[in-house]
């Protein structure tokens, strides 16, 4: 295949599991209140996957909708990437499970680990594979069953997360500039501010590890908050500069849906409060799925129209962060 000059998103989809857990429901699980959660996070409710649903099941549902939206069969997918921090299992990849569920028999598949930043990193990876001419069509999914990795006895974290999945189909060519250049960065020196310390090769599964609840996500919320605001704001400005654009050129900003206060701080810094897209009240933080779900909703509800420039930005464990810009061509 010849290298291409543009890469476009030709379809999006998302899936939220049926069960809804409200702040009032959380009041029965930990010592908290609807008022506290809403004031500190902007969250009202989140969706929780069924016991027999794994991340690949959520991802496959989102993928089917994205393929339908794109109007292509799964067999046209050359590359399938799943961004997740809650894989079905360590290996094989969740991407291989999704491949089998949707019948993407001609794709090569892998998972991408960048915590909550994963979907944006995966979009960038897939875009570059397409730009090089290595593949023509890619399916990028952010899928999370966070509810299995959070500690339902820790009120500082369990209120913040939800389950869900979002997907996008990318293809060579298309009108406009398509997916533009990203600005991304990481800082491993801050890993311990947001991580799941147990269960891997550093601290494998033992009775003692489980007794200490090390298999669950741990977070120092205040520190994470500060870094998230700074890094996402900087990343947006860097991505705009790389693409010779300014804040005024952007029709819609979609940030990682971690917390309305983080989103409001970025909006204020950049002067973009009137153009920020958020759904954190309905879904809470679905990690790598959050950006993908928000993009799909913003397209489907008409917020994003053909020819609009959209800026995406993310932040997550690692730390990892990034932003990119795309011209919507559909
Ligand atoms: N309900 C009621 N009280 C709670 C609570 C809850 N769910 N969680 C914590 N508290 C209490 C704390 O115990 C503390 O009490 P104390 O003062 O008696 O010790 C008090 O509220 C303040 O806690 P603190 O953690 O300092 O609150 P905060 O204002 O920083 O808000 C977060 C906590 C988690 C909402 C906030 O730090 C945050 O959103 N951080 C970013 C998290 C994030 O987005 N992570 C993912 C990034 S990808």
- List, for residues 109-135, the tens digit of each pLDDT value: 999 999 999 999 999 999 999 999 999
pLDDT at 330 over 90: no
For 64, list phi and psi in degrees, rounded to 5: -60, -40
What is this structure's pTM? 0.97
Q: Is the CB of 110 under 6 A from ligand 1?
A: no
Q: What is the Å distance from ligand 1's center to 129 Cα?
A: 40
pLDDT (mean) for 144-173: 98
Give the pLDDT of residue 14: 98
pLDDT at 4 over 80: no
CA distance 117 to 119: 6
pLDDT at 3 over 80: no
Return mean pLDDT, the chain. Answer: 97
Q: What is the Å distance from ligand 1's center to 203 Cα?
A: 27
pLDDT at 1 over 80: no
Q: Is the CB of 314 under 6 A from ligand 1?
A: no
- Here the tokens at position 22 are 């409200």
Tell me which residue has its CA closest to atom 29 in ligand 1: 40
3-state secondary structure of 41: helix
Q: What is the Å distance from ligand 1's center to 150 Cα?
A: 15
Q: Which residues are catalytic?
A: 116, 256, 285
Give the pLDDT of residue 51: 98
CA-30 nearest atom, ligand 1: 7
Tell me which residue has its CA closest to atom 48 in ligand 1: 316
Q: What is the Å distance from ligand 1's center to 159 Cα?
A: 10
CA-156 nearest atom, ligand 1: 8
Q: Is the CB of 200 under 6 A from ligand 1?
A: no
Q: Is the CB of 316 under 6 A from ligand 1?
A: yes
What letters, b where the CB count within 10 A reaches 16 and e where it falls short, cover 13-42?
Answer: bbbbbeeebebeebeeeeebebeebeebbb
Q: What is the pLDDT of residues 280-319, one digit of tens each?
A: 999 999 999 999 999 999 999 999 999 999 999 999 999 9
CA-155 nearest atom, ligand 1: 7
């Amino acid at each position: 295949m010849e290298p291409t000059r543009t890469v476009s998103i030709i379809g999006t989809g998302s899936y939220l599991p049926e069960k809804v857990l409200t702040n009032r429901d959380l009041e029965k699980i930990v010592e908290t209140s609807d008022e506290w959660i809403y004031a500190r996070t902007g969250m009202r409710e989140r969706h929780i996957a069924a016991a027999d649903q794994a991340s690949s099941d959520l991802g496959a549902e989102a993928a089917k909708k994205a393929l339908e939206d794109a109007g292509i069969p799964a067999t046209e997918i050359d590359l399938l990437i799943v961004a997740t921090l809650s894989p079905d299992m360590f290996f094989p990849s969740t991407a291989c499970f999704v491949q089998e569920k949707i019948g993407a028999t001609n794709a090569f598949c892998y998972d991408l680990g960048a915590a909550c930043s994963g979907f944006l990193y995966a979009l960038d990876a897939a875009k570059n594979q397409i730009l090089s001419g290595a593949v023509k069509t890619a399916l990028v999914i952010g899928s999370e069953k966070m509810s299995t990795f959070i500690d339902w006895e820790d009120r500082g974290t369990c209120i913040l997360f939800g389950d869900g999945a979002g997907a996008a189909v990318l293809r060579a060519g298309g009108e406009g500039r398509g997916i533009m250049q990203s600005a991304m960065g990481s800082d491993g020196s801050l890993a311990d501010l947001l991580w799941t310390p147990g269960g891997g090769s550093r601290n494998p599964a033992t009775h003692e590890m489980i007794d200490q609840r090390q298999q669950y996500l741990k977070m120092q919320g205040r520190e994470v908050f500060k870094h998230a605001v700074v890094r996402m704001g900087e990343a947006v400005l860097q991505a705009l500069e790389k693409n010779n654009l300014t804040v005024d050129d952007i029709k819609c900003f979609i940030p990682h849906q971690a917390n309305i206060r983080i989103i409001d701080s970025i909006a204020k810094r950049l002067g973009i409060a009137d153009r920020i897209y958020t759904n954190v009240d309905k879904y809470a933080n679905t990690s790598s799925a959050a950006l993908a779900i928000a993009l799909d909703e913003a397209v489907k509800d008409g917020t994003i129209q053909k020819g609009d420039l959209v800026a995406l930005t993310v932040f997550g464990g690692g730390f990892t962060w990034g932003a990119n810009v795309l011209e919507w061509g559909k």
